[in-house]
């Protein structure tokens, strides 16, 4: 845990969030500034700075987190219509919170390539 990490504080309950799904090791909550009608962030409860470091440290956790993104898509009713998973990593990708999070984006047509 990192006490100066915003998403660790959400896991602790010290910062409120709208939780849509939770397992013992993963939390899914709505993005505060949604970029699409469905915009959910799926995070491990344990602090890892980015997707690569999570996958290297705990491959089972990374796999579980991916499975939870699929459950979130079903709960949000977008599994059939489609959705995008994004792990922004580093400065050029505009990662702003250095606690790994998978964006689940859906509910409108998502252009490709992204801007």
Catalytic residue list: 101
CB of residue 6 to ligand 5GP, shortest distance in Å:
6
Q: How far apart are alpha carbons 102 and 6 in whole angstroms?
A: 15
Residue 17 contacts which entry, ligand 5GP, Zn ion, none (Cβ below 5-8 A, type-dependent): ligand 5GP
| Contact in structure between 97 and 7 (CB atoms under 8 Å) | yes
How far apart, in Å, are the Cα atoms of 36 and each of 13, 26, 92, 104?
A: 25, 22, 21, 9
Residue 83 contacts which entry, ligand 5GP, Zn ion, none (Cβ below 5-8 A, type-dependent): none
Stretch that binds Zn ion, among 19-27, 29-37, 45-53, 107-115 (CB under 5 A): 45-53
Residue 48 in contact with Zn ion, rule: CB under 5 A: no
**3-state SS assignment for residue 9:** helix
CB of residue 14 to ligand 5GP, shortest distance in Å:
11
């Amino acid at each position: 845990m990192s006490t100066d990490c915003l998403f660790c504080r959400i896991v602790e309950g010290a910062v409120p969030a709208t939780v849509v799904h939770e397992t013992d090791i993963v939390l899914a909550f709505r993005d505060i500034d949604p970029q699409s009608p469905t915009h959910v962030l799926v995070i491990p409860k344990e602090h890892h700075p980015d997707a690569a470091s999570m996958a290297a440290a705990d491959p089972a956790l990374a796999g579980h987190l991916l499975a939870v993104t699929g459950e979130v898509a079903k709960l949000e009713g977008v599994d059939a219509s489609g959705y995008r998973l994004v792990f922004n990593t580093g400065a050029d990708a505009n990662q702003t919170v250095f606690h790994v999070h998978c964006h689940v984006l859906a509910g409108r047509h998502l252009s490709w390539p992204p801007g």
